A and B are shown apart, each in its own frame.
Chain A
């Protein structure tokens, strides 16, 4: 049987179990006598053992079994010490690396040394696993056979043989796969790998009972496995009620199509309009449902945070209380993947720099209209805008003049400037190279915004405002030199038209005043290398933020808003900095999404 298609399902399920175990262990630490916690852990280990055994991943199954026995011991005792939790966490880590081995098609590393190592309660007996251990003589054999040309119903014949192989041992892989054989046709060759205690000659003579077989070869496996198509892609779990809605929507779309076709055929414009109205509604529904498939609860990235917090707290000898709220909130999986590292970094920062000795770190998620808010807050020292301004000036990131006029809100954002993190701030847990600048860039790349607010002495809060989906976003269409380009609405702070007289010059830079702030004016034509236009009486300006500063982007005009589906650009176009994707408008025109930051960064 072809196990490769089950591998990715096994891995995602096993990883979920491991994550649960990590969370449970951290929970038990604060409540060591929680019987239900220990029970739950036991069940998780048991599940992992069972799944691994049925997939034939022996080392993983053995380790799962060992942890299961270990936990069983404490189920009876009713209490676990910190040392035991450490050992269990180490076991969970080892299971994770085993899963990585499996994912990379490597052989599972041995767990023998872990299972026989000293445990805080003295040596446990080396457990004899209840799962079947392969007898020392079980080997992998590769079987190649071919059917005679004159054989009738060759596919059926191969199917019978494949079933027979399952009686001789465990079929690890076969080509063509059973699925392919079932499609029938002219399949006459079979290559299979089985794990069996029988010798090669025994297997061969069993297969020689089939006179339809012309050539049989049985021997050690020649090439590495991977027969058939290895599904490397990620999988999604979709609820059946969602699938039911798809089916019924599809039905309605089909009906709608017939309606439109017949209306067009009879040139009945009234009915056509009505049908189009129905189509619009159905498409909107379908869009909504499809997005649901991509939604995953935030818990999938926040799940490992309690464990991280605990480890960091122990390492830096601080007393940290970690709280997680709103983890049932769902977000597009693409967004979640990008958030995993930023979240860990922010939690690290909170524990390393935010809290001196004792404190609480809270990660909260909640919905606000069509956005999801994700917040990392601590009740520690609180960043001080005054100190931040000073440090930025010291590092030559801003001039003293800029520091003087800078508002507190912008001063807090200074931590997101590349180069802000100093050597004195880097601890061995925070590490180098992952600064808040990377976090902010990641958030903005997703079309989100990062807010920072802090009160010295009370704490700091980092709030991420995220769109629900990456694929379909609202954009502002801009006219520029008879073309149109698009900018994500989330990057647009304001649009306005200013009078020519409002433009001032400050040195070489054209600026204008908005709300008592002087903002530089940057011509989009100029940075795109397009011919400069004669100055108009009214100037269209888009206020946006780049590299931590507000600027006014001068364009020819505005062409309204649109909800568009962003497509990634294919190679080699995607290497041009400054483009964040492309989209096709309703009238068929291709419009590129501008990434102003990217364009300006290249100019530096």
Chain B
């Protein structure tokens, strides 16, 4: 059974890029959210196996959305997507329950490796 993924990122081209990467690995993109404020709702609706979460987003930040999701489901698997130089935010996210992180610009092998090891 393919893994079900929820992509949260405010930039459409990022969402498309991730979608392409995941499809190549035969994983199913079950939904997308353009902002942290949508993330929790989509998560509860779709119950994905994995969430990729951008760190910086306009209305509700990635860390806040992460906290929302972990609070609702402590077993949730969330991977943060960060740009270079956002190390402290990444560490804050990890302290808040994110399982791992990937750094932009994404490389296919890197993303797949991280997802594979996070999903076990």
Contact = CB atoms under 8 A, between A and B. Distances in A.
Interface of A: 152-153, 155-156, 159-160, 163, 181-182, 184, 209-211
A184 B89 CA distance: 10
A209 B113 contact: yes
18 contacts: A152-B84, A153-B103, A155-B87, A155-B91, A156-B87, A159-B91, A160-B99, A160-B100, A160-B101, A163-B94, A182-B91, A184-B87, A184-B88, A184-B91, A209-B113, A209-B116, A210-B117, A211-B113
A153 B82 contact: yes
B116 to A, nearest CB: 8
B90 interface: yes
Interface string B79-120: 000101011101100110001110100000010010011000
A152 B113 CA distance: 16
B113 A153 contact: no
Given A155-B87, A156-B94, A209-B117, 11 more contacts: A152-B84, A156-B101, A159-B91, A159-B94, A160-B101, A181-B91, A182-B91, A184-B87, A184-B88, A209-B116, A211-B113
Nearest to B98: A160
A153 B87 contact: yes
B117 A152 contact: no
Interface of B: 82, 84, 86-88, 90-91, 94-95, 99-101, 103, 110, 113, 116-117
A353 B88 CA distance: 68
Contacts of B100: 160
Mostly, the B contact residues are helix
A153 B94 contact: no
Contacts of A211: 110, 113
A152 B101 CA distance: 11
Contacts of A184: 87-88, 91
A210 B94 CA distance: 16
Contacts of B101: 153, 156, 160
Nearest to B86: A153
A258 B90 CA distance: 40
Contact of A152 (B88, B91, B95, B103): B103
A156 to B, nearest CB: 4
A160 B118 CA distance: 11
A210 B117 CA distance: 8
A584 to B, nearest CB: 43
Contacts of A181: 91
Contacts of B91: 155-156, 159, 181-182, 184
Given A160-B100, A160-B101, A153 B90 contact: yes
Contacts of A210: 117
B79 to A, nearest CB: 10
Contacts of B84: 152-153
A153 B110 CA distance: 14
A160 B94 contact: yes
B103 to A, nearest CB: 5
A603 B29 CA distance: 92
Kindly name the residue among A153, A163, A184 whose own CB sees the greatest number of chain B CB atoms within 10 A.
A153
Nearest to A210: B117
Q: Which 9 residue pairs spanning A and B have beta carbons closest together? A: A156-B90, A153-B87, A209-B117, A152-B103, A156-B87, A156-B91, A159-B94, A184-B87, A159-B91
A166 to B, nearest CB: 12
A156 B81 CA distance: 12
Contacts of B86: 153
Contacts of B113: 209, 211
A122 B40 CA distance: 61
A153 B103 CA distance: 8
Contacts of B99: 160
Contacts of B94: 156, 159-160, 163
B63 to A, nearest CB: 13
A210 B100 CA distance: 11
A181 B84 CA distance: 17
A156 B88 CA distance: 8
Contacts of B110: 211
A210 B101 CA distance: 12
A153 B114 CA distance: 15
A205 to B, nearest CB: 11
Tell me which of A152, A181, A182, A211 has the highest count of chain B C-beta atoms within 10 A of its own C-beta: A152
A211 B117 CA distance: 11
Nearest to B92: A182
A153 B87 CA distance: 5
Nearest to A153: B87
A372 to B, nearest CB: 46
A152 B85 CA distance: 8
